[in-house]
């Protein structure tokens, strides 16, 4: 039985307004990407303590630390991202969540990331090794994203064939594939990645890179969620609608468009008889 979550910074920069927007949509979880205009990896200790108290008072929990880990060029020192993995794991444990969103590196300027396959896999395996060595109770979710190694379906499969396991799974975002111009997303992306997918980011996209509520674009979201849940998917499905605007590190919808995005997913679930927690 899946659980809906959402990127609350798509509602507002202010945490109090984020929590109110989540409650208005009936969501009990959110993915922590930024609050008060500060990225999750840059939060100071007093801010994280405030977050813990405020979400506890609101009865809302965190599904994932939506970090930008891996949204860096592969020629940076490996220790840069190892340090961020450790920091994200500390934060996840402090805030009582089990998942950390990660990415699979940009190429150096003027280069092709496909040429860095061996290094990408080695560095991401290093993240896994760190978590295993320190016995961290967290799982990395590798998201398909434009211009990184794991952007097209074939390279996401490659990553999962090498890294999938108790400490790393696929985070599947259908709109990001459409955004790249991939056709027939259900067959070319979902089916090959289905067995690795333990986390969803939900948004939809029309040709021309137009982001729309789920079910209104070419991401074949309804068909995908139906198949996933028939197959026993019981993880988080996180709304990341970007209906007002989207960017490299964040997006925004506002409270009204965010609710519109949530309602669209609930309607899909109702039609497909998908019971949500």
Which of 40-49, 51-60, 161-170, 241-250 is the least confident region?
A: 241-250
Coarse DSSP helix, strand, coil percentages of the chain, rounded to the nearest 5 percent: 45, 20, 35
H helices present in 59-151, as ranges:
78-94, 117-133
As a whole number, mean pLDDT of residues 253-273 equals 95
User: What are the structural domains of the chain?
Assistant: 3-271 (3.20.20.150)
* Predicted confidence (pLDDT) at residue 256 exceeds the cutoff of 70: yes
pLDDT confidence of residue 246:
63
Question: Which is higher by pLDDT, 9 or 244?
Answer: 9
pLDDT tens-digit map of 186-202: 999 999 999 999 999 99
Can you give the length of the chain in residues? 277
Helix or strand holding residue 16 (H, E): helix 15-24
pTM: 0.96
**Other CB atoms within 10 Å distance of the CB of residue 41:** 17
pLDDT > 70: percent of the chain: 97
* Ordered DSSP codes for 213-260: STTSSSS-HHHHHHHHHHTT--SEEEE---SSEE-SS-EE-HHHHHHH
Bridge partners of 61, per DSSP, are: 29
Quickly state the pLDDT bin for 247 (edges 50, 70, 90). Answer: low
Q: What is the DSSP letter of 107?
A: P
CA 264, 265, 269, 275 torsion-angle sign: negative
Q: How confident is the model at residue 28 (pLDDT cuts 50, 70, 90)?
A: very high
**b/e string for 120-142 if b means 16 or more Cβ within 10 A?**
bbebbeebbebbeeeebebbbbb
Decide if 143 contacts 110 (C-beta within 8 A): no
Q: What is the pLDDT of residue 277?
A: 85
Phi first, then psi, for residue 93 (nearest 5°) are: -65, -40
């Amino acid at each position: 039985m899946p659980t809906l979550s959402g990127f609350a910074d798509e509602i507002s920069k202010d945490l109090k307004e984020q929590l109110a927007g989540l409650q208005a949509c009936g969501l009990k979880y959110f993915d922590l990407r930024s609050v008060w205009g500060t990225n999750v990896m840059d939060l100071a200790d007093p801010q994280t303590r405030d977050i813990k108290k405020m979400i506890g008072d609101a009865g809302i929990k965190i599904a994932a630390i939506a970090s930008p880990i891996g949204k860096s060029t592969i020629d940076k020192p490996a220790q840069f991202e190892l340090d961020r993995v450790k920091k994200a794991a500390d934060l996840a444990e402090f805030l009582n969540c089990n998942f950390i969103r990660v990415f699979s590196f940009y190429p150096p300027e003027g280069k092709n990331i496909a040429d860095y396959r061996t290094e990408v896999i080695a560095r991401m395996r290093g993240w896994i090794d760190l978590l295993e060595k320190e016995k961290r109770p967290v799982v990395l979710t590798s998201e398909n994203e434009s211009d990184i190694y794991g952007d097209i379906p074939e390279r996401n499969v490659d990553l999962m064939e090498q890294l999938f396991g108790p400490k790393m799974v696929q985070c599947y975002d259908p709109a990001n594939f459409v955004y790249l111009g991939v056709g027939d997303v259900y067959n070319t992306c979902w089916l090959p990645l289905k067995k690795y997918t333990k986390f969803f980011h939900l948004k939809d996209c029309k040709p021309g890179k137009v982001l729309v509520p789920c079910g209104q674009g070419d991401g074949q979201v309804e068909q995908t969620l139906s198949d996933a849940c028939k197959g026993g998917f019981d993880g988080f499905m996180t709304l990341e609608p970007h209906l007002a605007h989207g960017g490299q590190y964040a997006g925004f919808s506002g409270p009204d468009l965010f609710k519109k995005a949530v309602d669209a997913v609930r309607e899909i679930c109702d039609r497909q008889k998908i019971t949500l927690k």
